[in-house]
Amino acid sequence: MAAATSSVLKWASKDGSFRRQVSSFRDFISTDPSARFVAEPGRYHLYVSWACPWAHRAVIVRALKGLEDVIGLSAVHFLLQDKGWRFDHKGETTPGVIPDTVNNALYLSEIYYKANPQYEGRFTVPVLWDKQEQTIVNNESSEVIRMLNTSFDQWSSAPHITYYPDNLVKEIDSLNEWIYDEINNGVYKAGFATSQEAYETNYEKVFSGLAKVEKILSNKKWLCGDTLTEADVRLWTTIVRFDPVYHTHFKCSGGTIAHDYPNILRWTRQFYALPKIAETVNMSHIKQHYYRSHIQINPTAIVPVWDGPDLKST
């Protein structure tokens, strides 16, 4: 256990490059009644951080599919310290924190150790928990959103809507691949770099990626045309954090969404205007997490005032 907790705030490898940990729990929820993890209302619980873009993806799909009464939700405190994500301590009532009423955990690590007492990785969000089997089903956001997209359609308020339609699978997969590398994870690879070479290499990739997205959106409503897909969801959670966090905190200072990417800005506001999306954005948690948790980058823990562009503008 000590290995996991002692390394939780060490982001870069010895060569100065940031390499994201591969998710450890990779099971799937199925509609097959004989499956170990079968889809049922009230059986599964989602652990998230409002600050985390990967967890934000899952919250968005849960909202878009109308699964709020089907899958429970707990949200951790914004401050990430040496023991990992936590909930409110006794006497705290932090706005946005949703206590763990399933396992009554104080730290997210307790959930991981309950699923696997020998777990040695990072304690990441999102976590999809099975209350029946008393274990983690999956902690890989890209797979969690696929399950939320289809596995619970019997109880969904939008059962006929899919964000991974068969006719767009190839296009979505292609977009996801380079957007993840250059933008989603690219901002982290730039921000957590501890060598100038690693930082500059990934900095260039971030803005190359943004330029490609800006061009795509010059003549498309969404990344795949007129259809909102998971590619939009996956990119949007990074873009909504770009100006208030990544531009400054991660030194991705080559431009802002507000002033340099009009097509991305239009798309960002368009997504924000979708039903229930605004409720998934907690900018206080987002800013306080990054600027107060990453003490190796921002030792003063001062949080900038600006929240980024006005998302309600048209």
Active site residues: 52, 188
Residues contacting 170, CB < 8 A, separation 6+:
none
Helix (H) or strand (E) holding 45: strand 44-48
Least Cα distance to 149 among 138, 162, 140 occurs for 162
Sheet with 135-138: list strands edge to edge. Answer: 72-75, 44-48, 127-130, 135-138
The pairing of strands 135-138 and 72-75 is unpaired
Q: How many Cβ atoms sit within 10 Å of the Cβ of residue 79? A: 15
C-alpha to C-alpha distances, 151 to 37, 71, 136, nearest whole angstrom: 11, 12, 17
Q: Residue 75: beta bridge partners?
A: 48, 98
- Residue 206 marked in a binding site: no
- Residue 62 marked in a binding site: no
Least Cα distance to 206 among 189, 182, 240 occurs for 182
Distance CA 127, CA 124 (A): 7
Least Cα distance to 314 among 280, 265, 274, 278 occurs for 265
- Residue 140 marked in a binding site: yes
- Residue 25 marked in a binding site: no
- Alpha-helical segments (H) within the chain: 2-6, 53-64, 108-115, 141-150, 169-179, 186-191, 196-216, 230-241, 257-260, 262-272, 283-293
- Residue 122 marked in a binding site: yes
Instruction: Tell me which residue has tokens 């905190």.
Output: 249
Helix (H) or strand (E) holding 106: none
Name the binding residues: 85, 122-125, 140-141
Name the binding residues for glutathione: 85, 122-125, 140-141
